[in-house]
């Protein structure tokens, strides 16, 4: 996003004034900024802890505590943990234990079973290990049950169920110097030992609630989307929520989750009120069953090639062909088109080209609302006025049509949010909407420390807590290990490179971590630890680009991408990432592995 008020590249072809639009974006943003920032939210703890109960397991699970030893403990059974397990198995590591608080593998897809849940990045690039499992997703954007099943199949294929501890929460991991092992403490009384630990705690895992006055008073039925209560609504992830036919339902939030479940609520409820603070941008989806003809044409190696092609296209590269070619890459492709054959464009003009491409795309998305939503006031309220990537872009072919149903009402809070919750309903602009059921589609905690959101601390050499070390700022080598914490590996957004296709990032991290751990296990090494120098060098590399993501996002409408519009939070979603982009980051990792000397690691 360029800083200058006027554009220096040609904007005469636009059918709107880009400067006016930019000002409108700023006005829309400013009216949503709240001084409390992340503090506006209410944790799912204390009297709200029932919002995170696991509905998918039988109550009353018990087991004896474990005091045994394994080569590798993987914390987290979502895609990050599964991929680490898969790569470790490929590298010959046998003695692996996965720990997860859920009742099965799947991570995000274990918890998020709300109606309509679906991957929003193409399943042929989002779902990992497709060739290894000889599996082709049944549709272009697979639905949640299929992705959950795929997770379980990865665990089966790589024999990860054996030894796994489900329904187990890690409470602390502590390095025991005398035996060079980690001791893993859990809420089941375990004190198991592990030679190596890989942590894939997940990225958006802990549901949050809005701190709306009166939230504790609501007497009707209520739940968060990531713990959908099918006993109450009836139906399944495929919809058919028949128990709602005589219910007045309210949903707070209109983010990526709400966009997918609202069509099912609208279809089923006697009356649906959607309480909106900021509209999502909702572009076309065009989902389709996978074509058997297309499958026949796939050649070995197709999957990794497609995954890399998507990442390359999305991050400004120009592959021979944009293989995925869906709404994710439209803006990047349009910007590239504007820059083509214009070598004289300055860096600022290239930024302008990207901004203009985005303005055009968003105008197209707003125009689409007019073509679908019949009521003019509702249509206007559903238009998003911000850059497309300020929030998770949404793609859906039924969401907007839902507002044409006579039992569905959009309650626009004009950027201010719900005013108050009462025993019987929700108040917006002084009007009370009476409800039988109130659903929170209000997202997940972001912005705490790494150890804060994972729920446990990592106590390394000399009793030093990782939470304390990282309070001063993240400190890692390659984002995956930290000095003072030998044999301990992190997956996630820890000084690595963020991608829209999160499983791609996790797979590259898992491949790398498994390479290092397997080297340790297979060669009988005692400890592997990031050297202080290597860590310092990596932090310097990260700091060269520090703030670039924040600078970009600070102009955005508030949300979890930009610390709710507040600046200077070092623990924000995009803080401290490698600024060179994911492609370059993955190349650094593969070059490092190829070089072979495990440079930067102290090995004993
Ligand atoms: P989000 O954090 O994106 O959305 C939360 C919603 O709650 C926003 O619309 C927010 O409004 C609204 N809200 C919060 N407080 C209030 C309030 N006081 N009054 C009214 N509204 C309020 O959560 P989601 O669960 O939708 O999505 C989280 C992430 O999960 C996505 O960004 C995406 O990364 C991932 N996801 C992925 C999917 C996939 O891959 N298929 C599907 C769904 C989600 P405001 O915008 O104004 O803050």
Whole-number Å distance between alpha carbons of 385 and 279: 8
User: Quick one: fold of 69-206+446-603?
Assistant: FAD/NAD(P)-binding domain (3.50.50)
Closest approach atom of ligand 1 to CA 559 = 48
Bin 280: left if φ > 0, else alpha if -120 < ψ < 50, else beta: beta
Whole-number Å distance between alpha carbons of 560 and 554: 11
- pLDDT category of residue 550 using cuts at 50, 70 and 90: low
CB 311 near ligand 1, within 6 Å: no
> Residue 2: pLDDT above 60?
no
> Looking at residue 4, what is its pLDDT?
44
E strand or H helix that includes residue 332 = helix 330-339
Residue with the bigger pLDDT between 353 and 587: it is: 587
Torsion of CA 450, 452, 453, 455, to 10 degrees: 120
Neighbour-count burial of 456, counting CB atoms closer than 10 A to its CB (0-12 exposed, 13-18 middle, 19+ buried): buried
CB 204 near ligand 1, within 6 Å: yes
Bin 349: left if φ > 0, else alpha if -120 < ψ < 50, else beta: alpha
Nearest to 82 by CA among 104, 61, 111: 104
Whole-number Å distance between alpha carbons of 245 and 35: 40
Q: Residue 186 — φ and ψ, nearest 5°?
A: -135, 175
Q: What is the 3-state composition of the chain as percent helix, strand, coil, each rounded to the nearest 5?
A: 40, 15, 45
Instruction: Domain ranges for the chain, please list them.
Output: 69-206+446-603, 207-280+391-440
Report helix, strand or coil for 125: helix
CB 102 near ligand 1, within 6 Å: no
pLDDT mean over 372-398: 97
pLDDT mean over 83-93: 98
Task: Write the residue with the smallest CA distance to atom 13 of ligand 1.
Answer: 253
220 CA → ligand 1 middle, Å: 22
> Looking at residue 450, what is its pLDDT?
65
> Looking at residue 448, what is its pLDDT?
63
CB 428 near ligand 1, within 6 Å: no
> Residue 1: pLDDT above 90?
no
What tens digit of pLDDT does each residue of 40-54 get? 999 999 999 999 999
- pLDDT category of residue 403 using cuts at 50, 70 and 90: very high
> Looking at residue 5, what is its pLDDT?
56
Q: Do 135 and 123 touch, CB atoms closer than 8 A? A: no
> Looking at residue 451, what is its pLDDT?
63
388 CA → ligand 1 middle, Å: 15
258 CA → ligand 1 middle, Å: 7
What tens digit of pLDDT does each residue of 18-47 get? 999 999 999 999 999 998 888 899 999 999
> Looking at residue 350, what is its pLDDT?
84
CATH number of the domain at 207-280+391-440, out of 2.60.40.10, 3.30.70.20, 3.50.50.60, 3.40.50.2000?
3.50.50.60
> Looking at residue 71, what is its pLDDT?
98
Whole-number Å distance between alpha carbons of 462 and 465: 9
> Residue 512: pLDDT above 50?
yes
Whole-number Å distance between alpha carbons of 580 and 317: 13
> Looking at residue 251, what is its pLDDT?
98
Domain 69-206+446-603 identical in fold to domain 207-280+391-440: yes
Nearest to 316 by CA among 347, 270, 280, 271: 347
Closest approach atom of ligand 1 to CA 564 = 48
Q: Do 559 and 567 touch, CB atoms closer than 8 A? A: no
Residues contacting 2, CB < 8 A, separation 6+: 348, 351, 352, 355
Torsion of CA 510, 515, 518, 520, to 10 degrees: -120
Task: Write the residue with the smallest CA distance to atom 35 of ligand 1.
Answer: 256
As given in the structure block, the two tokens for residue 89 are 């198995």
CB 392 near ligand 1, within 6 Å: yes
Q: What is the DSSP string of 3-69?
A: -SSS-SS--TT-SS-HHHHHHHHHHHHHHH--TTGGGGEEES-GGGGGGG--TTS-S---------E
CB 441 near ligand 1, within 6 Å: yes
Using only the alpha carbons of the chain, give its radius of gyration: 24
Quick one: DSSP state of residue 432?
E
441 CA → ligand 1 middle, Å: 6
What residues pair up with 431 in beta bridges, in sequence order? 428
Whole-number Å distance between alpha carbons of 172 and 594: 35
What tens digit of pLDDT does each residue of 169-179 get? 999 999 999 99
Helix 330-339 × helix 347-372 angle, to 10°: 130
Q: Whose structure tokens read 């829209």?
A: 500
Q: Residue 106 — φ and ψ, nearest 5°?
A: 125, -25
DSSP strand E in 265-407: where?
271-276, 282-283, 394-395
Question: In terms of DSSP bridges, do strands 437-440 and 248-252 run parallel, antiparallel, or are they unpaired?
Answer: parallel
CB 257 near ligand 1, within 6 Å: yes
Report helix, strand or coil for 275: strand
> Looking at residue 331, what is its pLDDT?
85
What tens digit of pLDDT does each residue of 324-375 get? 999 998 888 888 888 887 778 888 888 888 889 999 999 999 999 999 999 9
CB 285 near ligand 1, within 6 Å: no
252 CA → ligand 1 middle, Å: 9
Residues contacting 548, CB < 8 A, separation 6+: 579
Report helix, strand or coil for 515: helix
Q: Do 513 and 578 touch, CB atoms closer than 8 A? A: no
Distance between first and last Cα of the chain: 48
Task: Spell out the alpha helix ranges (H) of 340-483.
Answer: 347-372, 376-381, 450-454, 466-471
CB 559 near ligand 1, within 6 Å: yes
> Residue 546: pLDDT above 80?
no
CB 411 near ligand 1, within 6 Å: no
Whole-number Å distance between alpha carbons of 418 and 430: 10
CB 442 near ligand 1, within 6 Å: yes
As given in the structure block, the two tokens for residue 160 are 């990860």
> Looking at residue 493, what is its pLDDT?
87
> Looking at residue 154, what is its pLDDT?
98
Task: Write the residue with the smallest CA distance to atom 43 of ligand 1.
Answer: 257
Q: What is the DSSP string of 208-253?
A: EEE--TTGGG--SEEEEGGG--HHHH-SBTTB--GGGGG-EEEEE-
Q: What is the mean pLDDT of the chain?
A: 93
Report helix, strand or coil for 449: coil
Least confident of 292-301, 466-475, 476-485: 466-475
444 CA → ligand 1 middle, Å: 8
CB 488 near ligand 1, within 6 Å: no
CB 265 near ligand 1, within 6 Å: no
Nearest to 73 by CA among 154, 206, 172: 172
Task: Write the residue with the smallest CA distance to atom 23 of ligand 1.
Answer: 443
- pLDDT category of residue 433 using cuts at 50, 70 and 90: very high
Q: Do 477 and 539 touch, CB atoms closer than 8 A? A: no
429 CA → ligand 1 middle, Å: 22
């Amino acid at each position: 996003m360029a800083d200058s008020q006027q554009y220096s590249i040609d904007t005469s072809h636009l059918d709107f004034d880009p400067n006016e639009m930019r000002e409108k974006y700023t006005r829309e943003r400013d009216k949503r900024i709240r001084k409390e920032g992340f503090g506006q939210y209410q944790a799912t703890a204390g009297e709200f802890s029932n919002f995170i109960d696991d509905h998918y397991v039988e109550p009353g699970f018990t087991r004896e505590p474990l005091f045994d030893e394994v080569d590798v403990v993987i914390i987290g059974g979502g895609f990050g943990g599964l991929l680490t397990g898969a790569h470790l198995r490929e590298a010959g590591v046998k003695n692996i234990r996965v720990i997860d608080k859920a009742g099965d593998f799947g991570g995000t897809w274990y918890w998020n079973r709300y109606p309509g849940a679906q991957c929003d990045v193409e399943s042929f690039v989002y779902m990992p290990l497709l060739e290894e499992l000889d599996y082709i997703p049944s549709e272009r954007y697979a639905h949640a049950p299929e992705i959950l099943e795929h997770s379980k199949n990865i665990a089966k294929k790589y024999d990860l169920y054996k030894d796994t501890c489900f329904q187990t929460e890690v409470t602390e991991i502590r390095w025991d110097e005398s035996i060079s092992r980690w001791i893993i403490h859990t809420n089941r009384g375990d004190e198991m030992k592990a030679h190596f630990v890989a942590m894939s705690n997940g990225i958006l895992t802990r549901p949050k609630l809005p701190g709306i006055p009166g939230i504790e008073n609501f007497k009707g039925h209520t739940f968060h989307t990531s713990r959908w209560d099918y006993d109450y609504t009836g139906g399944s992830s495929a919809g058919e929520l028949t128990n709602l036919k005589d219910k007045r339902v309210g949903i707070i939030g209109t983010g990526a989750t709400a966009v997918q479940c609202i069509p099912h609520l609208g279809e089923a409820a006697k009356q649906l009120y959607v309480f909106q603070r900021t509209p999502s941008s909702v572009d076309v989806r065009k989902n389709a069953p996978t074509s058997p003809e297309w499958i026949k044409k796939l050649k070995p190696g197709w999957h990794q090639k497609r995954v890399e092609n998507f990442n390359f296209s999305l991050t400004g590269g120009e592959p021979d062909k944009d293989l995925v070619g869906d709404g994710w890459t439209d803006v990047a492709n349009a910007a590239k088109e504007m820059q083509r054959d214009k070598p004289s464009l300055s860096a600022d003009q290239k930024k302008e080209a990207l901004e203009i491409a985005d303005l055009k795309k968003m105008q197209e998305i707003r125009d689409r609302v007019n073509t679908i939503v019949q009521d003019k006031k509702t249509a206007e309220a559903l238009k998003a006025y911000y850059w497309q990537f300020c929030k998770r872009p949404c793609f859906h072919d039924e969401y907007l049509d839902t507002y044409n149903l006579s039992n569905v009402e959009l309650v626009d809070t004009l950027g201010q949010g719900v005013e108050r919750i009462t025993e019987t309903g929700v108040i917006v602009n002084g009007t009370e909407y009476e409800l039988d059921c109130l659903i929170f589609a209000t997202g997940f905690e972001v912005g705490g420390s790494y150890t804060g959101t994972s729920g446990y601390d990592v106590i390394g050499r000399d009793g030093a807590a990782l939470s304390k070390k990282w309070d001063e700022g993240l400190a890692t080598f390659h984002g995956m290990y930290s000095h003072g914490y030998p044999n301990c590996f992190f997956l996630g957004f820890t000084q690595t490179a963020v991608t829209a296709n999160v499983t791609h990032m996790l797979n590259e991290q898992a491949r790398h971590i498994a390479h290092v751990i397997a080297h340790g296990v297979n060669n009988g090494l005692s400890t592997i630890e990031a050297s202080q120098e290597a860590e310092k060098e990596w932090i310097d590399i990260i700091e060269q680009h520090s703030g670039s993501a924040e600078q970009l996002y600070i102009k955005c409408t508030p949300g979890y991408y930009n610390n709710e519009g507040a600046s200077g939070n070092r623990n924000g979603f995009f803080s401290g990432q490698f600024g060179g982009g994911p492609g370059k980051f993955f190349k650094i990792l593969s070059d490092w592995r190829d070089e072979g000397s495990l440079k930067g690691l102290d090995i004993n």
